[in-house]
């Protein structure tokens, strides 16, 4: 079974050299720690920045320089800034190759739910709906089951959708699955996980 860092490391293997990528909050923020040698990607922050650097050292925080999670960050040599309309223009326009993001539920047809639990505190979708509708490829990184042990990979989402048929690949603590015609296809098993274990933890249809 993979831990958070191993899931992030596996997600980093999805990155293609020379592309522009958007990372969501949670485990995806660990992905830059594992970018493979020889691969250079430019990170987009949807509040208006390409070329996102690491957190600043203490004392060098700048109130005018934050990421989409409102954390203080730094710029790098190729950094460019722009307004929110331009930022989502490049997202909607398909210029951002991939988004790696977390999820509450993924359905076997690629439906994604990650913004709202009815009856609970609703904070909003932020830029998630725009990202999943616009980027070239959507990779979800999440635990395979919720804290009650219930599968998060299901036949149909029960929560309000963020996007319909938008997910391409899911990386969980148990392995890697692709959304294909008719269901999910196992691409890879995490270390120490058997195919039977992954199948029994998955409510969604798995196709061969």
Partner 1 sequence: MKKIYGSASEALDGILFDGMKIAAGGFGLCGIPELLLAAIRDAGTKELTFASNNAGVDDFGIGILLQTRQVKKMISSYVGENAEFMRQYLSGELELEFTPQGTLAERMRSAGCGIPGFYTRTGVGTVIAEGKEEKVFNGETYILEEGIYADLSIVKAWKADESGNLVFRKTARNFNPPAAMCGKVCVVEVEEIVPTGSLDPDSIHLPGVYVHRIIQGDHEKRIEQRTTRAA
Q: Using the rule CB under 8 A, which residue among 38, 57, 181, 196 binds partner 1? A: 57
| 3 state SS of 30 | helix
Complete edge-to-edge strand list for the sheet that includes strand 153-154: 112-113, 105-107, 153-154
The encoded tokens of residue 50 equal: 């390409």
> Can you name the residues that pair with 44 across neighbouring β-strands?
22, 50
Which of the residues 172 through 191 are near partner 1 (CB under 8 A)? Answer: none
Residues 6-45: x/- map of binding to partner 1 (CB under 8 A)? Answer: ---------------------------------------x
Tell me the C-alpha to C-alpha distance, in Å, between residue 11 and each of 24, 113, 125: 12, 19, 23
Q: Is 82 in the site for partner 1 (CB under 8 A)?
A: yes
Residue 92 touching partner 1 (CB under 8 A) = yes
Q: Is-catalytic flag, 78?
A: no
Among residues 9, 20, 24, 163, the one that binds partner 1 under rule CB under 8 A: 163
| Catalytic residue from among 16, 37, 46, 78 | 46
Nearest residue to 25 via CA among 121, 134, 92, 103: 103
> DSSP states of 114-165 as a string?
-S--TTSPP---TTHHHHHHHSSEEEEE--SB-TTS-BSEESS--SPPSBSS
Does 54 interact with partner 1 (rule: CB under 8 A)?
yes
Min dist CB 60 to partner 1, Å, is 8
Closest approach of Cβ 177 to partner 1, in Å?
21
Among 123, 181, 192, 196, binds partner 1 (CB under 8 A): 123
Among 8, 46, 169, 206, the residue binding partner 1 under the rule CB under 8 A is 46
- Judged by DSSP in three states, 27 sits in helix
From candidates 3, 16, 17, 62, binder to partner 1 by CB under 8 A: 62
Identify the DSSP state of 106: E
Q: What is the largest CA-CA distance in the chain?
A: 54
- Report the interface residues with partner 1, using CB under 8 A: 45-49, 54-58, 60-67, 69-73, 75, 81-85, 87-89, 91-92, 111, 121-130, 133-134, 160-165
């Amino acid at each position: 079974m993979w831990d958070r860092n191993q899931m992030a490391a596996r997600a980093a293997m999805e990155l293609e050299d020379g592309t522009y990528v958007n990372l969501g909050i949670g485990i995806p923020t660990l992905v830059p720690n594992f970018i493979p040698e020889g691969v250079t990607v430019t990170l987009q922050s949807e509040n208006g920045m390409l070329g996102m650097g690491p957190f600043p050292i203490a004392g060098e925080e700048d109130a005018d320089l934050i990421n989409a999670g409102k954390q203080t960050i730094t710029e790098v040599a190729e950094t460019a800034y722009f307004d929110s309309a331009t930022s989502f223009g490049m997202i909607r326009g398909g210029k951002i190759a991939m988004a790696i993001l977390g999820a509450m539920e993924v359905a076997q047809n690629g439906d994604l739910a990650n913004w709202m639990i009815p009856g609970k505190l609703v904070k909003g979708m932020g830029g998630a709906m725009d990202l999943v509708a616009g980027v070239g490829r959507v990779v979800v990184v999440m635990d395979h089951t919720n804290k009650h042990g219930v599968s998060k990979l299901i036949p149909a989402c029960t929560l309000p959708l963020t996007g319909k048929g938008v997910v391409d690949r899911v990386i969980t603590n148990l392995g890697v699955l692709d959304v294909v015609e008719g269901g999910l296809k196992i691409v890879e098993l995490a270390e120490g996980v058997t195919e039977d274990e992954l199948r029994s933890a998955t409510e969604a249809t798995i196709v061969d």
